[in-house]
Structure 1
Amino acid sequence: MGILDSVLPVFGPRRTHDAKAVVTGAGSGIGRAFALEIASRGGEVLCADIDKDRADETVELIRRTHGRAAHAVFCDVSRREDVESLATHAQLVFGGPPTLVINNAGVGIGGKPVGGIGFDDWEWALGINLWGVVHGCEVFAPLLRTAGHGGIINVASAAGFAAAPGMAVYNVSKAGVMSLSETLAAELSGSGIAVTVLCPTFVKTNVVRDGRIGSASSRLADELMRWTGFSPERVARTTLDAHDHGRLYVLPQLDAHAVWLLKRTFPAVYTHALGVLNRVLPQNDSVAASVKTGV
Protein backbone atom coordinates (compact mmCIF):
# COMPACT_ATOMS: atom_id res chain seq x y z
CA MET A 1 0.00 0.00 0.00
CA GLY A 2 1.45 3.31 -1.06
CA ILE A 3 0.95 6.97 -0.19
CA LEU A 4 -1.89 7.32 -2.69
CA ASP A 5 -3.75 4.42 -1.04
CA SER A 6 -3.50 6.13 2.33
CA VAL A 7 -5.11 9.37 1.21
CA LEU A 8 -7.84 7.97 -1.04
CA PRO A 9 -10.16 6.94 1.82
CA VAL A 10 -10.02 10.52 3.12
CA PHE A 11 -10.36 12.45 -0.13
CA GLY A 12 -11.94 9.89 -2.47
CA PRO A 13 -15.34 8.16 -2.45
CA ARG A 14 -15.99 5.91 0.53
CA ARG A 15 -18.39 3.54 -1.20
CA THR A 16 -18.47 1.05 1.65
CA HIS A 17 -19.64 3.64 4.19
CA ASP A 18 -23.36 4.32 4.61
CA ALA A 19 -23.92 1.88 1.75
CA LYS A 20 -27.13 0.27 0.65
CA ALA A 21 -25.62 -3.14 0.09
CA VAL A 22 -26.71 -6.48 -1.35
CA VAL A 23 -24.59 -9.43 -0.20
CA THR A 24 -25.12 -12.94 -1.58
CA GLY A 25 -24.06 -15.92 0.49
CA ALA A 26 -24.55 -13.71 3.53
CA GLY A 27 -25.60 -16.54 5.80
CA SER A 28 -22.08 -17.54 6.84
CA GLY A 29 -18.35 -17.11 6.25
CA ILE A 30 -17.07 -14.18 4.25
CA GLY A 31 -20.58 -13.17 3.24
CA ARG A 32 -21.69 -12.77 6.83
CA ALA A 33 -18.46 -10.94 7.64
CA PHE A 34 -19.08 -8.54 4.74
CA ALA A 35 -22.62 -7.86 5.95
CA LEU A 36 -21.52 -7.18 9.53
CA GLU A 37 -18.61 -4.96 8.47
CA ILE A 38 -20.84 -2.91 6.15
CA ALA A 39 -23.32 -2.44 9.00
CA SER A 40 -20.49 -1.27 11.25
CA ARG A 41 -19.76 1.42 8.64
CA GLY A 42 -23.30 2.75 8.85
CA GLY A 43 -24.75 0.71 6.01
CA GLU A 44 -28.04 -1.06 5.42
CA VAL A 45 -27.73 -4.64 4.19
CA LEU A 46 -29.91 -7.03 2.22
CA CYS A 47 -28.60 -10.48 3.20
CA ALA A 48 -29.29 -13.09 0.51
CA ASP A 49 -28.62 -16.78 0.95
CA ILE A 50 -29.88 -20.14 -0.28
CA ASP A 51 -30.35 -20.97 3.43
CA LYS A 52 -32.88 -18.39 4.63
CA ASP A 53 -32.41 -19.38 8.29
CA ARG A 54 -28.71 -18.51 8.08
CA ALA A 55 -29.55 -15.18 6.44
CA ASP A 56 -32.00 -14.47 9.28
CA GLU A 57 -29.21 -15.19 11.79
CA THR A 58 -26.96 -12.66 10.04
CA VAL A 59 -29.73 -10.05 10.15
CA GLU A 60 -30.22 -10.67 13.86
CA LEU A 61 -26.47 -10.30 14.47
CA ILE A 62 -26.44 -7.00 12.59
CA ARG A 63 -29.39 -5.62 14.54
CA ARG A 64 -28.06 -6.82 17.89
CA THR A 65 -24.43 -5.82 17.33
CA HIS A 66 -24.73 -2.64 15.31
CA GLY A 67 -28.38 -1.57 15.58
CA ARG A 68 -28.58 -1.14 11.81
CA ALA A 69 -31.37 -1.99 9.37
CA ALA A 70 -30.93 -5.36 7.68
CA HIS A 71 -33.13 -7.70 5.68
CA ALA A 72 -32.98 -11.40 4.83
CA VAL A 73 -34.12 -13.03 1.60
CA PHE A 74 -33.85 -16.46 0.00
CA CYS A 75 -31.83 -16.50 -3.21
CA ASP A 76 -30.37 -19.30 -5.31
CA VAL A 77 -27.82 -17.34 -7.34
CA SER A 78 -27.61 -20.11 -9.95
CA ARG A 79 -31.17 -19.20 -10.96
CA ARG A 80 -31.42 -15.99 -13.01
CA GLU A 81 -35.02 -15.40 -11.89
CA ASP A 82 -33.96 -15.50 -8.25
CA VAL A 83 -31.31 -12.83 -8.81
CA GLU A 84 -33.77 -10.70 -10.77
CA SER A 85 -36.21 -10.98 -7.85
CA LEU A 86 -33.38 -10.06 -5.49
CA ALA A 87 -32.77 -6.85 -7.45
CA THR A 88 -36.47 -5.97 -7.33
CA HIS A 89 -36.55 -6.64 -3.60
CA ALA A 90 -33.44 -4.53 -3.06
CA GLN A 91 -35.02 -1.52 -4.75
CA LEU A 92 -38.13 -1.91 -2.61
CA VAL A 93 -36.32 -2.10 0.74
CA PHE A 94 -33.75 0.58 -0.14
CA GLY A 95 -36.18 2.89 -1.90
CA GLY A 96 -33.94 2.85 -4.96
CA PRO A 97 -31.01 0.91 -6.40
CA PRO A 98 -28.31 -0.47 -4.11
CA THR A 99 -25.00 1.36 -3.96
CA LEU A 100 -22.90 -1.74 -3.30
CA VAL A 101 -23.31 -5.31 -4.61
CA ILE A 102 -21.16 -8.15 -3.29
CA ASN A 103 -21.37 -11.34 -5.35
CA ASN A 104 -20.01 -13.69 -2.73
CA ALA A 105 -22.05 -16.91 -2.83
CA GLY A 106 -19.94 -19.90 -3.77
CA VAL A 107 -19.13 -23.54 -3.09
CA GLY A 108 -15.98 -25.62 -2.77
CA ILE A 109 -15.27 -28.58 -5.02
CA GLY A 110 -12.19 -30.65 -5.79
CA GLY A 111 -10.27 -33.90 -5.51
CA LYS A 112 -10.89 -35.37 -8.98
CA PRO A 113 -8.92 -35.03 -12.25
CA VAL A 114 -10.43 -33.81 -15.50
CA GLY A 115 -12.16 -36.78 -17.13
CA GLY A 116 -13.21 -38.18 -13.77
CA ILE A 117 -15.18 -35.21 -12.45
CA GLY A 118 -18.56 -35.83 -14.04
CA PHE A 119 -20.85 -33.28 -15.65
CA ASP A 120 -23.15 -33.07 -12.65
CA ASP A 121 -20.34 -31.56 -10.54
CA TRP A 122 -19.33 -29.21 -13.36
CA GLU A 123 -22.88 -27.92 -13.77
CA TRP A 124 -23.50 -27.63 -10.02
CA ALA A 125 -20.35 -25.67 -9.19
CA LEU A 126 -20.28 -23.48 -12.29
CA GLY A 127 -23.95 -22.69 -11.74
CA ILE A 128 -23.17 -21.18 -8.36
CA ASN A 129 -19.56 -19.99 -8.53
CA LEU A 130 -19.58 -18.58 -12.06
CA TRP A 131 -23.16 -18.15 -13.22
CA GLY A 132 -24.10 -16.75 -9.81
CA VAL A 133 -21.63 -13.90 -10.34
CA VAL A 134 -22.64 -13.51 -13.99
CA HIS A 135 -26.27 -13.15 -12.89
CA GLY A 136 -25.31 -10.64 -10.20
CA CYS A 137 -23.28 -8.47 -12.55
CA GLU A 138 -25.71 -8.69 -15.47
CA VAL A 139 -28.72 -7.81 -13.30
CA PHE A 140 -27.21 -5.18 -10.99
CA ALA A 141 -24.72 -3.37 -13.26
CA PRO A 142 -27.49 -1.56 -15.19
CA LEU A 143 -29.01 -0.34 -11.93
CA LEU A 144 -25.68 1.06 -10.79
CA ARG A 145 -25.06 2.61 -14.21
CA THR A 146 -28.40 4.40 -13.96
CA ALA A 147 -27.55 5.65 -10.48
CA GLY A 148 -24.12 6.80 -11.70
CA HIS A 149 -22.27 5.67 -8.58
CA GLY A 150 -21.58 2.65 -6.42
CA GLY A 151 -19.49 -0.48 -6.46
CA ILE A 152 -19.39 -4.20 -7.24
CA ILE A 153 -17.23 -6.68 -5.36
CA ASN A 154 -16.89 -10.19 -6.79
CA VAL A 155 -15.45 -12.99 -4.68
CA ALA A 156 -13.07 -15.19 -6.68
CA SER A 157 -10.05 -17.07 -5.31
CA ALA A 158 -6.33 -17.50 -5.71
CA ALA A 159 -7.37 -20.77 -7.36
CA GLY A 160 -8.47 -18.63 -10.30
CA PHE A 161 -4.83 -18.12 -11.27
CA ALA A 162 -3.08 -20.91 -9.33
CA ALA A 163 -4.63 -23.62 -11.56
CA ALA A 164 -3.71 -26.51 -9.26
CA PRO A 165 -4.33 -30.12 -10.37
CA GLY A 166 -7.44 -31.81 -9.03
CA MET A 167 -9.29 -28.50 -8.79
CA ALA A 168 -10.39 -27.95 -12.40
CA VAL A 169 -14.03 -27.08 -11.70
CA TYR A 170 -13.18 -24.66 -8.92
CA ASN A 171 -10.26 -23.17 -10.86
CA VAL A 172 -12.36 -22.57 -13.97
CA SER A 173 -15.20 -21.00 -12.02
CA LYS A 174 -12.94 -18.59 -10.18
CA ALA A 175 -10.85 -17.74 -13.25
CA GLY A 176 -14.11 -16.81 -14.95
CA VAL A 177 -15.03 -14.51 -12.07
CA MET A 178 -11.64 -12.81 -12.36
CA SER A 179 -12.01 -12.30 -16.10
CA LEU A 180 -15.55 -11.00 -15.74
CA SER A 181 -14.43 -8.56 -13.05
CA GLU A 182 -11.54 -7.28 -15.16
CA THR A 183 -13.83 -6.78 -18.15
CA LEU A 184 -16.50 -5.08 -16.09
CA ALA A 185 -13.93 -2.77 -14.47
CA ALA A 186 -12.81 -1.62 -17.92
CA GLU A 187 -16.38 -1.12 -19.10
CA LEU A 188 -17.31 0.90 -16.01
CA SER A 189 -14.14 2.99 -15.95
CA GLY A 190 -15.02 6.64 -15.55
CA SER A 191 -18.64 5.87 -14.66
CA GLY A 192 -18.32 6.42 -10.91
CA ILE A 193 -18.75 2.68 -10.30
CA ALA A 194 -15.79 0.72 -8.93
CA VAL A 195 -15.15 -3.00 -9.38
CA THR A 196 -13.05 -5.15 -7.06
CA VAL A 197 -12.29 -8.87 -7.24
CA LEU A 198 -11.24 -10.72 -4.09
CA CYS A 199 -8.71 -13.56 -4.54
CA PRO A 200 -7.85 -15.13 -1.17
CA THR A 201 -6.25 -18.44 -0.36
CA PHE A 202 -7.40 -19.95 2.94
CA VAL A 203 -10.22 -18.35 4.90
CA LYS A 204 -11.71 -19.98 7.99
CA THR A 205 -15.21 -20.81 6.71
CA ASN A 206 -17.47 -23.82 6.11
CA VAL A 207 -16.62 -24.08 2.42
CA VAL A 208 -14.87 -27.43 2.77
CA ARG A 209 -17.63 -29.04 4.84
CA ASP A 210 -20.42 -27.61 2.65
CA GLY A 211 -18.76 -28.42 -0.68
CA ARG A 212 -18.02 -31.49 -2.75
CA ILE A 213 -14.41 -32.28 -1.90
CA GLY A 214 -12.74 -35.68 -1.51
CA SER A 215 -12.34 -36.81 2.09
CA ALA A 216 -8.52 -36.88 2.09
CA SER A 217 -8.30 -33.46 0.47
CA SER A 218 -10.91 -32.17 2.91
CA ARG A 219 -8.84 -33.26 5.90
CA LEU A 220 -5.72 -31.59 4.53
CA ALA A 221 -7.62 -28.43 3.64
CA ASP A 222 -9.19 -28.28 7.11
CA GLU A 223 -5.77 -28.51 8.73
CA LEU A 224 -4.23 -25.85 6.47
CA MET A 225 -7.25 -23.61 6.97
CA ARG A 226 -6.98 -24.03 10.73
CA TRP A 227 -3.30 -23.10 10.91
CA THR A 228 -2.83 -20.64 8.06
CA GLY A 229 -6.29 -19.30 7.24
CA PHE A 230 -7.34 -15.70 7.77
CA SER A 231 -10.55 -14.92 9.58
CA PRO A 232 -13.54 -13.92 7.40
CA GLU A 233 -13.71 -10.65 9.32
CA ARG A 234 -10.15 -9.74 8.42
CA VAL A 235 -10.71 -10.57 4.75
CA ALA A 236 -13.95 -8.60 4.58
CA ARG A 237 -12.44 -5.53 6.24
CA THR A 238 -9.36 -5.63 3.99
CA THR A 239 -11.49 -5.99 0.87
CA LEU A 240 -13.87 -3.16 1.73
CA ASP A 241 -10.94 -0.86 2.50
CA ALA A 242 -9.34 -1.79 -0.83
CA HIS A 243 -12.61 -1.10 -2.63
CA ASP A 244 -12.65 2.37 -1.10
CA HIS A 245 -9.12 2.80 -2.43
CA GLY A 246 -10.38 1.93 -5.91
CA ARG A 247 -8.29 -1.23 -6.17
CA LEU A 248 -9.31 -3.91 -8.68
CA TYR A 249 -7.44 -6.89 -7.19
CA VAL A 250 -7.41 -7.90 -3.53
CA LEU A 251 -4.98 -10.66 -2.56
CA PRO A 252 -5.14 -10.51 1.23
CA GLN A 253 -2.50 -13.17 1.99
CA LEU A 254 1.21 -13.37 1.22
CA ASP A 255 0.94 -16.85 -0.31
CA ALA A 256 -1.55 -15.53 -2.87
CA HIS A 257 0.90 -12.75 -3.80
CA ALA A 258 3.73 -15.30 -4.11
CA VAL A 259 1.76 -17.57 -6.42
CA TRP A 260 0.56 -14.57 -8.48
CA LEU A 261 4.14 -13.37 -8.96
CA LEU A 262 5.61 -16.80 -9.67
CA LYS A 263 2.89 -17.74 -12.17
CA ARG A 264 3.32 -14.52 -14.14
CA THR A 265 7.10 -14.41 -14.03
CA PHE A 266 7.80 -18.08 -14.84
CA PRO A 267 4.56 -19.57 -16.21
CA ALA A 268 6.12 -22.68 -17.80
CA VAL A 269 8.27 -23.44 -14.75
CA TYR A 270 5.27 -22.92 -12.47
CA THR A 271 3.08 -25.37 -14.40
CA HIS A 272 5.89 -27.96 -14.59
CA ALA A 273 6.42 -27.70 -10.83
CA LEU A 274 2.71 -28.28 -10.19
CA GLY A 275 2.86 -31.36 -12.38
CA VAL A 276 5.83 -32.74 -10.46
CA LEU A 277 4.13 -32.16 -7.12
CA ASN A 278 0.96 -33.76 -8.39
CA ARG A 279 2.89 -36.90 -9.34
CA VAL A 280 4.94 -37.06 -6.14
CA LEU A 281 2.19 -36.44 -3.60
CA PRO A 282 -0.54 -39.03 -2.96
CA GLN A 283 -3.27 -38.53 -5.56
CA ASN A 284 -6.03 -37.56 -3.14
CA ASP A 285 -3.79 -35.24 -1.13
CA SER A 286 -2.23 -33.42 -4.08
CA VAL A 287 -1.22 -29.80 -4.14
CA ALA A 288 -4.77 -29.15 -5.32
CA ALA A 289 -5.94 -29.11 -1.75
CA SER A 290 -3.55 -26.32 -0.82
CA VAL A 291 -5.06 -23.53 -2.91
CA LYS A 292 -8.76 -23.75 -2.04
CA THR A 293 -10.47 -20.81 -0.42
CA GLY A 294 -13.55 -20.21 1.64
CA VAL A 295 -16.49 -18.10 0.57
Structure 2
Amino acid sequence: MDIFGVGSSRRSRSADAVITGAGSGIGAAFAVELARRGGRIVCSDIDEPAAHKTAQQIAAGGGKAVALACDVTRVEEVYRLAEEAQSWFCGPPTLVINNAGVGAGGAFIGDTELADWNWVLNINLWGPIHGCHVFTPILREAGRPAGIINVASAAAFGAIPGMAAYNVSKAGVLSLSETLAAELAGTGVNVTVLCPTFVKTNIVDAGRISTHATHLADQLMRWTGFSAQRVAQMCLDTNDRGRLYCMPQPDARIVWGIKRLTPTVFTRAAGLTTRITN
Protein backbone atom coordinates (compact mmCIF):
# COMPACT_ATOMS: atom_id res chain seq x y z
CA MET A 1 0.00 0.00 0.00
CA ASP A 2 1.27 3.46 -0.93
CA ILE A 3 1.31 5.66 2.21
CA PHE A 4 0.55 8.68 0.02
CA GLY A 5 -2.60 7.27 -1.57
CA VAL A 6 -4.82 4.26 -1.95
CA GLY A 7 -2.72 2.15 -4.24
CA SER A 8 -2.12 2.02 -7.95
CA SER A 9 -4.92 2.60 -10.47
CA ARG A 10 -5.43 3.83 -13.98
CA ARG A 11 -7.89 6.65 -13.35
CA SER A 12 -6.47 8.70 -16.21
CA ARG A 13 -7.47 6.01 -18.74
CA SER A 14 -10.89 6.56 -20.33
CA ALA A 15 -11.59 9.31 -17.81
CA ASP A 16 -14.58 11.61 -17.84
CA ALA A 17 -12.60 14.73 -17.02
CA VAL A 18 -13.45 18.33 -16.21
CA ILE A 19 -10.56 20.78 -16.61
CA THR A 20 -10.59 24.48 -15.77
CA GLY A 21 -8.24 26.80 -17.59
CA ALA A 22 -8.19 24.33 -20.49
CA GLY A 23 -7.84 26.99 -23.15
CA SER A 24 -4.05 27.08 -23.03
CA GLY A 25 -0.91 25.99 -21.22
CA ILE A 26 -0.99 23.13 -18.74
CA GLY A 27 -4.80 22.93 -18.87
CA ALA A 28 -4.81 22.38 -22.63
CA ALA A 29 -1.99 19.85 -22.26
CA PHE A 30 -4.02 17.92 -19.65
CA ALA A 31 -7.01 17.90 -22.02
CA VAL A 32 -5.06 16.64 -25.03
CA GLU A 33 -3.23 13.97 -23.01
CA LEU A 34 -6.42 12.69 -21.38
CA ALA A 35 -8.10 12.50 -24.78
CA ARG A 36 -5.10 10.53 -26.02
CA ARG A 37 -5.70 8.14 -23.12
CA GLY A 38 -9.27 7.58 -24.32
CA GLY A 39 -11.08 10.09 -22.15
CA ARG A 40 -14.02 12.41 -22.70
CA ILE A 41 -13.07 15.97 -21.82
CA VAL A 42 -14.96 19.04 -20.67
CA CYS A 43 -12.67 21.92 -21.63
CA SER A 44 -13.58 24.85 -19.42
CA ASP A 45 -12.11 28.35 -19.53
CA ILE A 46 -13.18 31.93 -18.90
CA ASP A 47 -12.02 32.48 -22.49
CA GLU A 48 -14.63 30.37 -24.29
CA PRO A 49 -13.03 30.68 -27.76
CA ALA A 50 -9.77 29.35 -26.31
CA ALA A 51 -11.66 26.41 -24.75
CA HIS A 52 -13.28 25.72 -28.13
CA LYS A 53 -9.85 25.70 -29.76
CA THR A 54 -8.67 22.97 -27.38
CA ALA A 55 -11.87 20.97 -27.88
CA GLN A 56 -11.52 21.27 -31.64
CA GLN A 57 -7.90 20.07 -31.45
CA ILE A 58 -9.10 16.99 -29.56
CA ALA A 59 -11.94 16.37 -32.00
CA ALA A 60 -9.53 16.68 -34.94
CA GLY A 61 -7.54 13.82 -33.41
CA GLY A 62 -10.64 11.65 -33.07
CA GLY A 63 -11.29 12.41 -29.42
CA LYS A 64 -14.41 13.57 -27.60
CA ALA A 65 -14.53 17.02 -26.01
CA VAL A 66 -16.87 19.90 -25.34
CA ALA A 67 -16.05 23.51 -24.49
CA LEU A 68 -17.82 25.34 -21.67
CA ALA A 69 -17.28 28.86 -20.38
CA CYS A 70 -16.63 29.20 -16.64
CA ASP A 71 -15.30 31.96 -14.40
CA VAL A 72 -13.88 30.00 -11.46
CA THR A 73 -14.06 33.05 -9.18
CA ARG A 74 -17.87 32.76 -9.29
CA VAL A 75 -19.09 29.67 -7.47
CA GLU A 76 -22.46 29.76 -9.25
CA GLU A 77 -20.62 29.30 -12.55
CA VAL A 78 -18.71 26.34 -11.12
CA TYR A 79 -22.02 24.77 -10.03
CA ARG A 80 -23.31 25.30 -13.57
CA LEU A 81 -20.15 23.73 -14.96
CA ALA A 82 -20.74 20.66 -12.80
CA GLU A 83 -24.36 20.39 -13.95
CA GLU A 84 -23.51 20.76 -17.63
CA ALA A 85 -20.59 18.32 -17.37
CA GLN A 86 -22.75 15.66 -15.71
CA SER A 87 -25.40 16.16 -18.38
CA TRP A 88 -22.83 15.69 -21.14
CA PHE A 89 -21.24 12.65 -19.46
CA CYS A 90 -24.66 11.23 -18.48
CA GLY A 91 -23.20 10.82 -15.00
CA PRO A 92 -20.55 12.18 -12.64
CA PRO A 93 -17.01 12.93 -13.82
CA THR A 94 -14.17 10.65 -12.75
CA LEU A 95 -11.44 13.31 -12.80
CA VAL A 96 -11.48 17.02 -11.96
CA ILE A 97 -8.47 19.23 -12.62
CA ASN A 98 -8.53 22.67 -10.97
CA ASN A 99 -5.96 24.32 -13.19
CA ALA A 100 -7.14 27.87 -13.94
CA GLY A 101 -4.55 30.34 -12.73
CA VAL A 102 -2.65 33.56 -13.36
CA GLY A 103 0.83 34.87 -12.67
CA ALA A 104 1.79 37.97 -10.74
CA GLY A 105 4.99 39.38 -9.29
CA GLY A 106 7.68 42.00 -9.31
CA ALA A 107 6.71 44.12 -6.30
CA PHE A 108 7.34 43.64 -2.59
CA ILE A 109 4.66 43.50 0.11
CA GLY A 110 3.46 47.04 0.73
CA ASP A 111 4.16 48.00 -2.88
CA THR A 112 1.91 45.39 -4.51
CA GLU A 113 -1.50 46.89 -5.20
CA LEU A 114 -4.30 45.38 -3.13
CA ALA A 115 -6.27 45.05 -6.36
CA ASP A 116 -3.56 42.67 -7.60
CA TRP A 117 -3.79 40.66 -4.35
CA ASN A 118 -7.54 40.30 -4.83
CA TRP A 119 -7.20 39.40 -8.51
CA VAL A 120 -4.60 36.68 -7.88
CA LEU A 121 -6.26 35.16 -4.81
CA ASN A 122 -9.72 35.13 -6.41
CA ILE A 123 -8.46 33.10 -9.35
CA ASN A 124 -5.55 31.05 -8.01
CA LEU A 125 -6.97 30.19 -4.57
CA TRP A 126 -10.73 30.67 -4.67
CA GLY A 127 -10.88 28.93 -8.04
CA PRO A 128 -9.58 25.61 -6.63
CA ILE A 129 -11.61 26.13 -3.44
CA HIS A 130 -14.77 26.48 -5.52
CA GLY A 131 -13.81 23.49 -7.67
CA CYS A 132 -13.19 21.27 -4.65
CA HIS A 133 -16.29 22.53 -2.84
CA VAL A 134 -18.56 21.76 -5.78
CA PHE A 135 -17.03 18.58 -7.21
CA THR A 136 -15.77 16.73 -4.10
CA PRO A 137 -19.25 15.66 -2.90
CA ILE A 138 -20.12 14.55 -6.45
CA LEU A 139 -17.03 12.34 -6.76
CA ARG A 140 -17.29 11.00 -3.21
CA GLU A 141 -20.97 10.11 -3.49
CA ALA A 142 -20.48 8.41 -6.87
CA GLY A 143 -18.72 5.62 -4.97
CA ARG A 144 -16.22 4.73 -7.69
CA PRO A 145 -12.50 5.41 -8.27
CA ALA A 146 -11.92 9.06 -9.13
CA GLY A 147 -9.29 11.76 -8.97
CA ILE A 148 -8.83 15.45 -8.17
CA ILE A 149 -5.77 17.36 -9.34
CA ASN A 150 -5.09 20.86 -8.05
CA VAL A 151 -2.44 22.89 -9.84
CA ALA A 152 -0.20 24.76 -7.41
CA SER A 153 3.48 25.62 -7.90
CA ALA A 154 6.89 25.23 -6.30
CA ALA A 155 6.20 28.82 -5.19
CA ALA A 156 3.87 27.23 -2.62
CA PHE A 157 6.90 26.26 -0.53
CA GLY A 158 9.73 28.25 -2.14
CA ALA A 159 8.49 31.73 -1.27
CA ILE A 160 10.64 33.98 -3.45
CA PRO A 161 10.49 37.72 -2.56
CA GLY A 162 8.49 39.94 -4.89
CA MET A 163 5.82 37.31 -5.56
CA ALA A 164 3.83 37.42 -2.33
CA ALA A 165 0.33 37.24 -3.79
CA TYR A 166 1.26 34.37 -6.11
CA ASN A 167 3.16 32.55 -3.34
CA VAL A 168 0.28 32.87 -0.89
CA SER A 169 -2.26 31.69 -3.45
CA LYS A 170 -0.25 28.58 -4.31
CA ALA A 171 0.58 27.82 -0.66
CA GLY A 172 -3.16 27.87 -0.05
CA VAL A 173 -3.74 25.39 -2.88
CA LEU A 174 -1.08 23.10 -1.42
CA SER A 175 -2.73 23.19 2.02
CA LEU A 176 -6.18 22.73 0.48
CA SER A 177 -4.96 19.65 -1.36
CA GLU A 178 -3.28 18.14 1.71
CA THR A 179 -6.43 18.65 3.76
CA LEU A 180 -8.66 17.23 1.04
CA ALA A 181 -6.41 14.19 0.62
CA ALA A 182 -6.70 13.48 4.35
CA GLU A 183 -10.48 13.87 4.27
CA LEU A 184 -10.81 11.55 1.26
CA ALA A 185 -8.38 8.90 2.47
CA GLY A 186 -9.85 5.44 1.86
CA THR A 187 -12.70 6.68 -0.35
CA GLY A 188 -11.11 5.81 -3.69
CA VAL A 189 -10.82 9.49 -4.67
CA ASN A 190 -7.13 10.28 -5.16
CA VAL A 191 -5.91 13.85 -4.67
CA THR A 192 -2.74 15.15 -6.31
CA VAL A 193 -1.25 18.62 -6.05
CA LEU A 194 1.00 19.68 -8.93
CA CYS A 195 4.00 21.80 -7.86
CA PRO A 196 6.19 22.56 -10.88
CA THR A 197 8.87 25.22 -11.19
CA PHE A 198 9.01 26.65 -14.71
CA VAL A 199 6.70 25.33 -17.41
CA LYS A 200 6.74 26.63 -20.98
CA THR A 201 3.33 28.34 -21.09
CA ASN A 202 1.92 31.85 -21.63
CA ILE A 203 1.25 32.53 -17.93
CA VAL A 204 3.88 35.30 -17.87
CA ASP A 205 2.30 37.12 -20.81
CA ALA A 206 -1.21 36.74 -19.38
CA GLY A 207 -0.32 37.78 -15.82
CA ARG A 208 0.47 40.99 -13.95
CA ILE A 209 4.25 40.79 -13.72
CA SER A 210 6.83 43.57 -13.79
CA THR A 211 9.09 43.96 -16.83
CA HIS A 212 12.18 42.81 -14.91
CA ALA A 213 10.40 39.76 -13.46
CA THR A 214 8.93 38.91 -16.86
CA HIS A 215 12.36 38.94 -18.51
CA LEU A 216 13.84 36.76 -15.75
CA ALA A 217 10.93 34.29 -15.91
CA ASP A 218 11.20 34.09 -19.71
CA GLN A 219 14.89 33.26 -19.44
CA LEU A 220 14.33 30.59 -16.77
CA MET A 221 11.50 29.00 -18.78
CA ARG A 222 13.77 28.86 -21.80
CA TRP A 223 16.70 27.34 -19.89
CA THR A 224 15.03 25.02 -17.38
CA GLY A 225 11.33 24.81 -18.22
CA PHE A 226 9.57 21.55 -19.00
CA SER A 227 6.94 21.42 -21.72
CA ALA A 228 3.33 21.57 -20.56
CA GLN A 229 2.76 18.18 -22.22
CA ARG A 230 5.51 16.54 -20.19
CA VAL A 231 4.23 18.04 -16.95
CA ALA A 232 0.66 16.92 -17.66
CA GLN A 233 1.75 13.37 -18.43
CA MET A 234 3.83 13.12 -15.24
CA CYS A 235 1.03 14.54 -13.09
CA LEU A 236 -1.61 12.16 -14.47
CA ASP A 237 0.71 9.23 -13.85
CA THR A 238 1.26 10.49 -10.29
CA ASN A 239 -2.47 10.62 -9.63
CA ASP A 240 -2.84 7.11 -11.10
CA ARG A 241 -0.31 5.89 -8.53
CA GLY A 242 -2.30 7.48 -5.71
CA ARG A 243 0.42 9.95 -4.76
CA LEU A 244 -0.31 13.35 -3.28
CA TYR A 245 2.67 15.41 -4.44
CA CYS A 246 3.80 15.84 -8.04
CA MET A 247 7.01 17.83 -8.44
CA PRO A 248 8.02 17.20 -12.06
CA GLN A 249 11.38 18.96 -12.15
CA PRO A 250 14.47 18.10 -10.10
CA ASP A 251 14.85 21.72 -8.95
CA ALA A 252 11.37 21.63 -7.39
CA ARG A 253 12.27 18.52 -5.42
CA ILE A 254 15.59 20.06 -4.35
CA VAL A 255 13.88 23.24 -3.12
CA TRP A 256 11.27 21.13 -1.30
CA GLY A 257 14.01 19.17 0.48
CA ILE A 258 16.10 22.20 1.43
CA LYS A 259 13.09 24.15 2.68
CA ARG A 260 11.97 21.26 4.89
CA LEU A 261 15.46 20.58 6.29
CA THR A 262 16.75 24.15 6.74
CA PRO A 263 13.84 26.57 6.42
CA THR A 264 15.56 29.57 8.03
CA VAL A 265 18.69 29.24 5.89
CA PHE A 266 16.58 28.85 2.75
CA THR A 267 14.52 31.95 3.48
CA ARG A 268 17.55 34.13 4.20
CA ALA A 269 19.34 32.88 1.09
CA ALA A 270 16.29 33.61 -1.06
CA GLY A 271 16.16 37.15 0.26
CA LEU A 272 19.86 37.85 -0.25
CA THR A 273 19.81 36.36 -3.75
CA THR A 274 16.88 38.55 -4.73
CA ARG A 275 18.70 41.69 -3.58
CA ILE A 276 21.77 40.74 -5.60
CA THR A 277 19.83 40.00 -8.81
CA ASN A 278 17.89 43.25 -8.48
Same fold (TM over 0.5): yes
Alignment match of 1:119 (pick from 114, 136, 145): 114
Helix, strand or coil: the match of 1:162? coil
2:244 matched residue in structure 1: 248
- The two structures, once aligned, show a CA RMSD in angstroms of 1.3
2:259 matched residue in structure 1: 263
Q: 1 CA distance for matches of 2:26 and 2:126?
A: 19
Alignment match of 1:238 (pick from 221, 234, 239): 234
Superposition TM-score, scaled by structure 1 size: 0.91
1:33 matched residue in structure 2: 29
Superposition TM-score, scaled by structure 2 size: 0.96
1:130 matched residue in structure 2: 125
Aligned identity (percent) is: 60
Alignment match of 1:148 (pick from 137, 143, 152): 143
Q: 2 CA distance for matches of 1:89 and 1:192?
A: 24
**1:177 paired to 2:173:** yes
Q: 2 CA distance for matches of 1:204 and 1:236?
A: 12
2:70 matched residue in structure 1: 75
Count of residue pairs brought into register by the alignment: 274
Q: 1 CA distance for matches of 2:8 and 2:219?
A: 40
Gaps of 5+ in 2: none
Per the TM alignment, residue 204 of structure 1 is displaced from its structure 2 partner at its CA by 0.3
1:227 matched residue in structure 2: 223
Per the TM alignment, residue 226 of structure 1 is displaced from its structure 2 partner at its CA by 1.3
Per the TM alignment, residue 12 of structure 1 is displaced from its structure 2 partner at its CA by 3.5
**4+ aligned runs moved over 3 Å, structure 1:** none
Per the TM alignment, residue 281 of structure 1 is displaced from its structure 2 partner at its CA by 2.2
Comparing 230-239 and 145-154, the one that deviates more = 145-154
**1:42 paired to 2:33:** no
AA partner of residue 95 (structure 1): C
Per-residue CA deviations over 1:191-242 (Å, capped at 9, x if unaligned) read: 0100000000000000000000001110111111112110000000000011
1:55 matched residue in structure 2: 51
Per the TM alignment, residue 13 of structure 1 is displaced from its structure 2 partner at its CA by 2.2
Gaps of 5+ in 1: 283-295
Alignment match of 1:90 (pick from 74, 82, 85): 85
